[in-house]
Chains A and B, each alone.
Chain A
Amino acid sequence: KAGVTQTPRYLIKTRGQQVTLSCSPISGHRSVSWYQQTPGQGLQFLFEYFSETQRNKGNFPGRFSGRQFSNSRSEMNVSTLELGDSALYLCASSPRQGGEQYFGPGTRLTVT
């Protein structure tokens, strides 16, 4: 099976812009979770989607949002980008809620 894929792999944006990141889970996996990794805060949970519904959400402002499509692919959106949003954004898929997670290669976002 193909692994979790994320696009784009690298992205440079300017403060105030918005960005959309995409994640395709492993075939058959219905749960997709998103994480932000920064040197200062480590790996932090953003949100989890299962069957097109957000099931859990981390402590991030409303500028961070996501959605999941019927084929389980997921997107996350960050609006009004801030310098502090520069991070590695990781997506993970799992066959079920709370199951073993498999991570994609990540999208490295730089906000200037």
Chain B
Amino acid sequence: GIQVEQSPPDLILQEGANSTLRCNFSDSVNNLQWFHQNPWGQLINLFYIPSGTKQNGRLSATTVATERYSLLYISSSQTTDSGVYFCAVLREGFKTIFGAGTRLFVKA
């Protein structure tokens, strides 16, 4: 099956700092999503990005499907950005695979 690796596993930032989270996957995929899991367990959709670049406010994401990786950029981080960030990939006909996540803590 497809392997999904996220890095770094843990990240501590000072409020206002920028960061880049990475998601590598081992095979071609049809679908890639980024999620933020808040402290109550809710998974919040950030991006649906099988390829290309998207931006939403302080967040942006880029997926290079041919090189099998995706990046999530967080700029001017805020304490409310704390939580766990997951990428999830899907290859048509197969099950969705989640990475292990990046745990982010933003200090005030």
B98 at the interface (CB under 8 A from A): yes
B-side contacts of A108, CB under 8 Å: 41
Instruction: List the count of A-B residue pairs having beta carbons below 8 Å apart.
Output: 50
Instruction: Report the bound CA distance from A102 to B96 in whole Å.
Output: 13
| One of B14-22, B56-64, B73-81, B86-94 at the interface | B86-94
Is the CB–CB distance between A42 and B100 below 8 Å? yes
Is the CB–CB distance between B95 and A58 below 8 Å? yes
Q: Which of B30, B45, B96, B97 sits near A33, CB closer than 8 Å?
A: B96
Shortest distance in angstroms between A68's beta carbon and chain B's nearest beta carbon?
A: 16
Instruction: Report the bound CA distance from A102 to B30 in whole Å.
Output: 17
Instruction: Report the bound CA distance from A38 to B33 in whole Å.
Output: 20
Is the CB–CB distance between B33 and A100 below 8 Å? yes
The A interface is mostly helix, strand or loop, or mixed, namely strand
Interface size class for chain B? 20 to 34
Is the CB–CB distance between A106 and B94 below 8 Å? no
Instruction: Report the bound CA distance from A44 to B44 in whole Å.
Output: 17
Shortest distance in angstroms between B77's beta carbon and chain A's nearest beta carbon?
A: 23
Instruction: Report the bound CA distance from A44 to B100 in whole Å.
Output: 10
7 contacts between A and B (CB under 8 A): A33-B96, A35-B98, A56-B94, A100-B31, A101-B45, A102-B45, A103-B44
Taking Cβ atoms with an 8 Å cutoff, the residues of A that contact B are 33, 35, 37, 42-45, 48, 56-58, 88, 90, 92, 98-103, 105-106, 108
List the 3 closest pairs (A to B, CB-CB), nearest first: A43-B98, A103-B43, A100-B48
